[in-house]
């Protein structure tokens, strides 16, 4: 086998392996994509996946929008399990879109009442 044939054969092998890895990675990504939130969930543009979190106070209001004047749809307590999906800064206040896993209520809470354990992306 000539030197060029050996190089060509090696290059074809590497190219085929790369194609298989790319296809496998694409399939794995498609299978492990996170489930969509409720229809009213904000679009997540960047950052980490959702994070577990906790309520800092008992009776934390869960709002429909990142605003203290929006409708309260539930209350969170320190004993409840929380998943924080993303964050948004409104008028200098950090808000977290989250789900109270104990009551299954999803909405917004300010940084003074709910926090993620790790940083989450922007909504």
Looking at the DSSP bridge assignments, the partners of residue 105 are: 100
Q: The pTM is what? A: 0.64
Q: Using CA atoms, how far apart are residues 112 and 57, in angstroms rounded to an integer?
A: 8
Q: How many CB atoms lie within 10 A of CB 120?
A: 22
Average pLDDT of the residues of the chain: 75
What percent of the chain lies above the pLDDT cut of 90?
A: 60
Band of pLDDT at residue 49, cut at 50, 70 and 90: confident
In this structure, are residues 116 and 44 in contact, taking their beta carbons and an 8 Å threshold? no
DSSP letter at 33?
A: P
Band of pLDDT at residue 41, cut at 50, 70 and 90: low
Q: How many CB atoms lie within 10 A of CB 5?
A: 9
Stretch 86-90: mean pLDDT = 96
Q: pLDDT at residue 86 above 90? A: yes
Band of pLDDT at residue 32, cut at 50, 70 and 90: very low
Q: Which helix (H) or strand (E) holds 15?
A: helix 3-31
Q: Using CA atoms, how far apart are residues 88 and 83, in angstroms rounded to an integer?
A: 15
Q: pLDDT at residue 51 above 80? A: yes
């Amino acid at each position: 086998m000539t030197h060029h044939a050996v190089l060509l054969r090696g290059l074809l092998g590497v190219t085929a392996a790369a194609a298989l890895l790319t296809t496998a990675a694409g399939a794995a990504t498609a299978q492990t994509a996170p489930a969509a939130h409720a229809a009213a969930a904000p679009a997540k543009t960047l950052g980490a996946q959702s994070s577990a979190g906790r309520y800092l106070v008992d009776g934390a209001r869960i709002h429909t929008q990142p605003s203290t004047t929006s409708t309260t749809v539930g209350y969170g307590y320190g004993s409840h399990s929380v998943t924080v999906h993303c964050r948004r800064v409104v008028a200098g206040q950090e808000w977290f879109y989250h789900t109270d896993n104990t009551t299954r209520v999803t909405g917004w809470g300010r940084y003074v009442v709910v926090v993620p354990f790790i940083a989450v992306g922007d909504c």
